[in-house]
Amino acid sequence: MQHDLIIIGMGLSGLMAAKTALDLGKRVLVIGKGMGGLILFSNTIDVLGKVPETLPLKDGLSHWIKEHPEHPYSKTGVEGIEEALSSFVSLFPPPYTFHSLDERNRKLPTAVGTLRPTYLFPSTLSGGVFLKEGNTLIVGFKGFKDFYAAYMAKQFKCRYLTVSLQEEGLPELTATYLTRQMEKEEVRERVGLEIKNSLRGETLIGFPALLGLNDPVRIKAHLEAITGGEIFEIPTLPPSILGMRIFNRFKAYLLERGANFLQGHKVSRVEVKGSICEGIEVFHPPISRFYSAPHFILATGRFIGGGLEAERERIVESLFHLPVFSEAPREEWFGKNFFDSHPIHRSGISVDHSFRPLDHNGKAVFENVRVVGTILSGHHYIDEGSREGIEISTGYWGVKRLFE
């Protein structure tokens, strides 16, 4: 296989890098040991959750970049972020589109009954913005353990309904099973009617994000026609159907344009000569395969993705052994409580303007390797609410600047 670019990692940043390279007419190989993190997160597009709803996000971002010169956003700039986001948004033609409300952060309900600020979200989620005490009926399914309607309803001081799709005594239901059920018209008729009969003046209906994989807008409209209320989806625990919709869309787009897509085996070795990466080896028992290309993108994420590994005393980058920048010494990695901010989540790879990894003297370690996504240093996406924004903008600009 001959490629202009090999991308290691199949999360949002790797997929975004692949899309950008294909749009530039490049031949791309994407390698992922799994299928990236899109299935794990709630999958609205957070850009900078710290910006209050009262302020246009753009203004908040400019301010943030001025205050945080080491942040990945300072590499892309506000206009750069906007350009990258519109490239992402262009993947989703109507009716299932991603958009903001008034170009500001808005708070959407989560499956644990909290509100979370986010920037872009699919149209099937918009109604959640208007959730207020008493105006929403939260719907769950009996036997579906990834979404408890009663718990959510209590937090939001709303009523709830638990729909039973199964006869008594049958085992638990999974997200993909329920999603497939919701794709069936007769199931929607039944569920819709049960919801309609349970409404007591509520105008909104909060539904777990299971409204089908292929045509959620039509499914939402059908349920609305039956119930007379406005339906909105609420992200569930993994596996995230919202994430699958994004992943499937990327995959279709990339394969249509001739990308090679290898899932299931991790890169076992990199072949390095001086400051050049000559190729990578993938171990697929009992053999190894070698792939070479003039350029490489490392988009392996932080700890969950396996891009970074915490050893007893230090943090290492697992593939190229790149220098890792960590703001905190070992004893300060973790805060006292689980929900505290943990400084370990600020560790990452420092890069130059063209996303090449740097050593502690500020010198590029590799000429033909670019690093993008959450593995970058200078941010704490959990605290900031910036995960997808960082992935999309650095994935996009990592490739743009490479071929400019």
Partner 1 sequence: MRAKKEEWLKKNADICIRCATCMAVCPVSRVTPLFPGPKNTGPGAERFRHPEEPSVDHWVDLCIGCHLCNGVCPAGVPISELNLLAKTKYLNEKGRPFRDWLLTHSYLYGWIGALFSPITNYLLRKPVVKKLLEIILKIDQRSPLPNYQSPLFREWFKSHSPKVGKKIAYFYGCFTNTNEIDVGKATVEVLEANGFEVILPPQDCCGFPMLGHGDFDGARKKGEKNLSSLLQVIRSGMEILYTSTSCGFMIKHEYGHLLELPGAEELANHTFELFEFLRKLKESGNLNTRFKGLSIKAAYFAPCHLRTLGIGLPAFEILKLIPELELKRLEADCCGMGGTFGFKKEKYEIAQEIGNDLKRAIDRVNPEIVLTECEGCRLKIRHLTGLKVLHPVQVLRDVLVSRP
List interacting residues with partner 1 (CB under 8 A). Answer: 1-2, 29, 33-35, 37, 39-40, 143, 166, 170-177, 179-180, 237-240, 243-244, 248, 252, 255-256, 258, 260-266, 282, 284-287, 289, 304-306
Distance of CA 31 to the CA centre of its chain: 18
Going by their DSSP bridges, the two strands 267-273 and 276-284 should be labelled as: antiparallel
- Residue (33 or 380) nearer to partner 1, CB: 33
Give the whole-angstrom CA distance, residue 344 versus residue 303. 10
Q: Strand, coil or helix: what is 232?
A: strand
* Shortest Å distance, C-beta 251 to partner 1: 8
- Residue (106 or 251) nearer to partner 1, CB: 251
Collect all residues with Cβ–Cβ distance below 8 Å to 105 and sequence separation of at least 6.
47, 48, 49, 51, 52, 53, 57, 60, 117, 118, 119
The neighbour count for residue 197, using CB atoms within 10 Å, is 9
Give the whole-angstrom CA distance, residue 16 versus residue 241. 19
- Residue (145 or 314) nearer to partner 1, CB: 145
Residue 189 vs residues 137, 159, 228: alpha-carbon distances, Å: 18, 21, 13
* Shortest Å distance, C-beta 254 to partner 1: 11
* Shortest Å distance, C-beta 228 to partner 1: 29
- Residue (31 or 108) nearer to partner 1, CB: 31
* Shortest Å distance, C-beta 177 to partner 1: 6
Return the ∠ at Cα 352 (arms to 46 and 27), rounded to 5°: 75
Residue with tokens 């119930």: 227
Q: Which amino acid is at 9?
A: G
* Shortest Å distance, C-beta 58 to partner 1: 34
Residue 104 vs residues 51, 58, 236, 355, 356: alpha-carbon distances, Å: 8, 8, 24, 28, 32
The one-character DSSP state at 27 is -
- Residue (40 or 199) nearer to partner 1, CB: 40
- Residue (69 or 264) nearer to partner 1, CB: 264
* Shortest Å distance, C-beta 314 to partner 1: 22
- Residue (248 or 341) nearer to partner 1, CB: 248
Q: Are 192 and 221 in contact (CB under 8 A)?
A: no
* Shortest Å distance, C-beta 98 to partner 1: 20
* Shortest Å distance, C-beta 274 to partner 1: 27
Tokens of 5: 């670019």
Give the whole-angstrom CA distance, residue 369 versus residue 322. 11
